[in-house]
Amino acid sequence: MAKFIVDVKEEDKSEKSKKNHLVYYKSLTKVILNLQEEKNQASDPTIKNHLDARIDAIEKDRTRIRGMFPDIVKEEW
């Protein structure tokens, strides 16, 4: 039976990390808007499903980032 060792990295919640994550979060917002626009223009259901999956993955990343910094008010995001 194989054993797997998982390397768990502690999240950096410093002020510098907070600032960098805010910038990254805002860039993800722009990516989502672009993907939604691309989805609206697509006619192929396979492409639409793929774009939906990408949007969902990005939304999960945004949720993870918000969870790292719960002290940031909604308006800052």
**pLDDT tens across the length of the chain (77 residues):** 667 776 667 778 889 999 999 999 999 999 999 999 999 999 999 999 999 999 999 999 999 999 999 998 888 88
In a domain, 75, yes or no: no
In a domain, 41, yes or no: yes
pTM to 2 decimal places:
0.78
In a domain, 42, yes or no: yes
In a domain, 7, yes or no: no
pLDDT given for residue 5 in this prediction: 75
Task: Give the side-chain half-sphere CA count within 13 A for 25.
Answer: 20
CA angle 13, 75, 23 (to 5 degrees): 50
DSSP track, the chain: -------PPPP--SHHHHHHHHHHHHHHHHHHHHHHHHHHH---HHHHHHHHHHHHHHHHHHHHHHHH-TTS-GGG-
In a domain, 8, yes or no: no
Host domain of residue 22: 15-67
Q: How many domains does the chain have?
A: 1
pLDDT given for residue 1 in this prediction: 61
